[in-house]
Structure 1
């Protein structure tokens, strides 16, 4: 069945990706205060009150005279998305107010005869909401004041969205969404060798899909009936060492591969060990909220290898980065094919952990047990109380913990709770996050399961792997 399409547009940094994530109930797009985090179209399926639709995140609209070399491409992608959509959400920033770029963009959109809802974002404060009426000048009617970051009025916006969308047309084929993973690492860590090894498995059916960038090829294959899409990436170098324009974009594409993957596979040359740039890559993976599998490659040529070499190397890495305790670490030889089958198994495990609904009662009971075993320490002679906990997101899994004093929760106690949740629910590889909030918004298991179900399938023939990065903002 062909789903109706909702397209989110606006100038840079008005909160398009934040609203995209809010509609999905999970972090599918990276959000940053920096302009230019999204360039290409990003498609995901969403479900609300039994209604399913496709939502599209787009890059920020830039003027003709911008110095951004990719501005023309971004504009093309935006208008392609608008033309295929059934509903357009035109976003503005109520704090900044109406800009010349808003007006220029609105004039172009009005010519397309599309159903448009004007969304005035960042309206969590009453004073800001009162200023929203100046956006009537854009010609899209009364603005809907929301806050994509806090969730203010977003449910009302979703009610309006499903009310105006057409009924889905049946008859179009749907497919199970493949597991998408990116192979990452420093230059010459063995990424392409692993890719070739994975695609040369006798039981894998292989076909090439042109990627969204000039030098990137996404390959899809099937293992034991399960579909995968793998992206090989250029080696990610230190920014200080990147002064060639081609290599700059290569790094950007690597970061983009992280964002549009479900799981990131970090390859480390075990003869060199973890280096500073590997830790930078791990940081980018965490910031993107993606699962992680770490591979110690070239194990066949590790000098002076003994039975305890693996344990010693893993212990040393955990001393430098304690969070690696919760990440699957494998020693492999991509060249010789050693333990390659375990790589696929680890990817599947981490993918499942990222999407797990832990169970509202299970989280509450586990949280109560953790608090009883190790009470919350006071801070600056003030009592710190953590009252309850609930999972509020999947992909990545997020557990919200209610407290009147979130700023007083000791970092050591946060690490304690993180460790206990990982151990209790066996979330190896998942980017679990703990939020400490003054007011907890409880989510039912059924709501979280809906988010998982809505991302389980894609329309056959619709490319859901879209994005690229942009840099400049025009007000």
Structure 2
């Protein structure tokens, strides 16, 4: 089964409703929405599911090609990165304003990408305003999809149907690839390329103390103990002149592609610095992407005043600072001396087995039912949550569906309780499994 989700970039001039559309897709106001143009400056990634198919959308800032304003140039640099990553593009225009010279410039720019473009005319809130959209045929990008992102009306469904038309359904059974894909990710200068070199036992990658030496993801295949691995080195900082967003911000952005395509992400921590906020941000991206994760504490050879309990103390410090990573294995290595460097393969193999783990329906129901009996949920307005049965719908990561009587009765605290029971029973070391709830007969109603 392919691990790569398609990426859809949403592009347009400022204030055409891109973030409102994204919020409509994901069902919450996670993107900042305001009437002021240019509110979204960074590109922001969200996972979306439509008709059983999953993809990632990138919400981008509004662009004006050839604008010399420093902020607009920075936003345009972000959009260029988004377009480079994207498989398809939603080009959003404002039907209410009509065609704009900037729209024409953007259309000409997007055409050079040679990627599928879905022209989307937004802000058509009533049927009588749909005629506004027809001016956009001048852009020569085909028939525009006429929508209202604010109300979720018009051709939103038709647009999404067309976008996912050629995508594989999630969890569709396909022949597994033999190679375990490992992404080496982390902050600049944490030693990612040095680790890859140590793993490959050759200097195939440029290694330097200057942050951002690795400009793009580089894949290398090798075997360890008869298991084939694909190592993806990222730092992937694409330097843009006068971009003021900061090196570490770009490190997170450039790691995302590799994370979404890998099976296991090795998050490299500089032992001399410790777990930073940026490390936590990257780890959250890995967890939200549903990938296996291992923390590799690098440069352990130059940590001073070590004793027999140093690794234990270090682990406890990480777990206190980031308790959401308590399920993640931690290895202490040195890329320079190659100390415990092969533990990356050993731990990755273990995590991969957890990542692909399947739980029988009978055993799963036994555990969930026992958890329900031991700690039944509290009633709400005279109604109590009932669990009918549970099943694992796919692996990579393990994904479970629990059929119940009413989704409104599932409190976050009770969901966490059930998740903790599943982890306690089945391990899933290094794997962020998923649990969703479905009302019985929900599929038939859809």
- Tell me the TM-score normalized by structure 2: 0.61
Secondary structure of 1:376's aligned partner: coil
Residues 56-111 of structure 1, C-alpha deviation per residue, up to 9 Å, x if partnerless?
979666223373225666777899999xx9xx764548999867488546864999
Contact 2:236 2:255 in 1 (8 A): no
Deviation of 1:197 after TM superposition, in Å, equals: 1.8
Distance 1:111 1:354 in 2: 39
Contact 2:10 2:18 in 1 (8 A): no
RMSD: 5.7
Match for residue 257 of structure 1?
254
Deviation of 1:249 after TM superposition, in Å, equals: 3.8
Structure 1: stretches of 5+ with no match in the other structure: 23-30, 41-45, 166-174, 235-243, 444-475
Contact 1:233 1:257 in 2 (8 A): yes
Deviation of 1:250 after TM superposition, in Å, equals: 1.6
* Structure 1 residues 221 and 114: alpha-carbon distance in aligned structure 2, compared to 1, 3 A threshold: closer
Secondary structure of 2:245's aligned partner: helix
Residues 414-440 of structure 1, C-alpha deviation per residue, up to 9 Å, x if partnerless?
332222233444332233344567799
Tell me which of the two structures has the higher relative contact order, counting C-alpha pairs closer than 8 angstroms and 6 or more residues apart: 1
Distance 2:306 2:297 in 1: 13
Contact 1:360 1:390 in 2 (8 A): yes
Aligned ranges for residues 285-364 of structure 1 at < 5 Å? 285-287=286-288, 289-303=290-304, 305-350=306-351
Distance 1:17 1:176 in 2: 39
Match for residue 228 of structure 1?
231
Distance 1:217 1:256 in 2: 12
- Tell me the TM-score normalized by structure 1: 0.58
Aligned ranges for residues 94-133 of structure 1 at < 5 Å? 100=100, 103-104=103-104, 108=108, 118-119=119-120
Residues 174-193 of structure 1, C-alpha deviation per residue, up to 9 Å, x if partnerless?
x98872513314x6644443
Contact 2:292 2:355 in 1 (8 A): yes
Distance 1:158 1:277 in 2: 33
Deviation of 1:325 after TM superposition, in Å, equals: 2.4
* Structure 1 residues 16 and 200: alpha-carbon distance in aligned structure 2, compared to 1, 3 A threshold: farther
Deviation of 1:404 after TM superposition, in Å, equals: 3.5
Distance 1:355 1:120 in 2: 42
Match for residue 137 of structure 1?
135
Secondary structure of 2:232's aligned partner: strand
Contact 1:258 1:288 in 2 (8 A): no
Structure 2: stretches of 5+ with no match in the other structure: 1-5, 33-38, 168-176, 207-211
Secondary structure of 1:220's aligned partner: strand
Match for residue 385 of structure 1?
385
Aligned residues: 387
* Structure 1 residues 269 and 103: alpha-carbon distance in aligned structure 2, compared to 1, 3 A threshold: closer
Distance 1:432 1:265 in 2: 17
Distance 1:96 1:400 in 2: 42
Aligned ranges for residues 136-285 of structure 1 at < 5 Å? 136-139=134-137, 140-141=142-143, 143=145, 179-185=181-187, 189-200=190-201, 206=204, 216-224=215-223, 225-232=228-235, 248-262=245-259, 263-270=264-271, 273-274=274-275, 278-285=279-286
Q: Does 1:69 align with 2:73?
A: yes
Distance 1:214 1:17 in 2: 37
Contact 2:98 2:133 in 1 (8 A): yes
Distance 1:256 1:374 in 2: 42
